Structure 1
Amino acid sequence: MPSRDHAAQQQAVARTVRRTLLALVAMLGFAFALVPLYDVFCNLTGLNGKAASQARAAVAMEIDESRWVSVRFITQQGQGLPWTLEALDEQFRIHPGGQYSARFVFTNHADYPVRGRAVPSVSPAEGSLHLRKIMCFCFQEQTLAAGERRELPLVFQVDPDLPEGIRDLTLAYTLYPVTTPSSAGDDGAEHSAGGET
């Protein structure tokens, strides 16, 4: 018959194992939640140049004609998407407060329809709080037919309260595949970037 001390010791060990397992489960849950939480935080604060993913209303602002800001557009290819994205207007020299329109061309190089999305980021990161995207293809996923070439606009403003030290803004778009069915009534004929139905 085990001694009372031995039974107490086994209970203490069992309690420690349970607490350790609970802590491990909590840490795993936090690790999985960290990425979406970070994205939400970046979207709200503009940290790391994450640009808002929703349209902002055009605002009638006084145009600061005493100041020039250079806005440059960069496009980057994400993996697994047979598209290219080209900025037809690569750079603007603008007055803060004005409203401007840039043109971009998407091309699907696959022989089947493909869904994808252009995800924006702004540098310097502080500039993302002052770059207002009024109309942008980045607000929703795009579906391109086989071999389709499509020109889409970006309408934007830079707030006049952009800090004086910022004279250059870079808006980068990275293409990513969309592999989940579209909420707009996917008929199953479209392909993800990997070519699956």
Structure 2
Amino acid sequence: MPLRVTFVAAARSTPLLAERFDDDRPLDLAGWEEVQRAAGDLLPLAAAELRYCSPTPRSRATGDALGYAPLVQPALRDCDMGRWRGLTLGEAMAREPDAVDAWLADPRATPHGGESLLAFISRVGGWLDTRPVDDGGGIVAVAEPSVIRAALVYALKAPPSTYWNIDVRPLCTTTVAGRSGRWNLCLSGVRPQPSRA
């Protein structure tokens, strides 16, 4: 059986429009309430053989609140945004509009002095490819939405520009299954019951 890695997006710490690069803020009250409402659906993932999280306070707090007791993985940290750390996209655009345009257009660009989008995707993909395969074992990883987007781009071997078209909401789950270099996106949901005629 293939290895299954289920990503759980960290609960929020701020309204989406106020998201900051490399945001280290803890969960806000709304985030805690979201975790409590979602706990019943997400608690079964605690049975995974291995449980990890991004090093951000909100990822750790989300994992702990769900009973996962996750192990922090430095490779699952957010993209290093250099001098834009702590800024919103709007603030970075107001200060350095040409640099932001270059960064959005070229996945190899590092106008902020940090990590390129391509390097970020490769780092997260490298983490995914080095997970231990133990006869179909399961892994859960609580991570920032940006990390999950990077993992999906890598797993699907999609162009880096696809990163900007993936929407990851707080506390959503996404599963990939496979092994190093060969991953599949797994969608799950309620299966329709056969009709009884």
TM-score range, shorter chain: under 0.3
Choose between structure 1 and 2 for higher RCO, CA contacts under 8 A separated by at least 6 residues: 2
Higher strand share: 1
TM-score by length of 1: 0.22
Task: Find the structure with the greater CA-based Rg.
Answer: 1
Higher helix share: 2
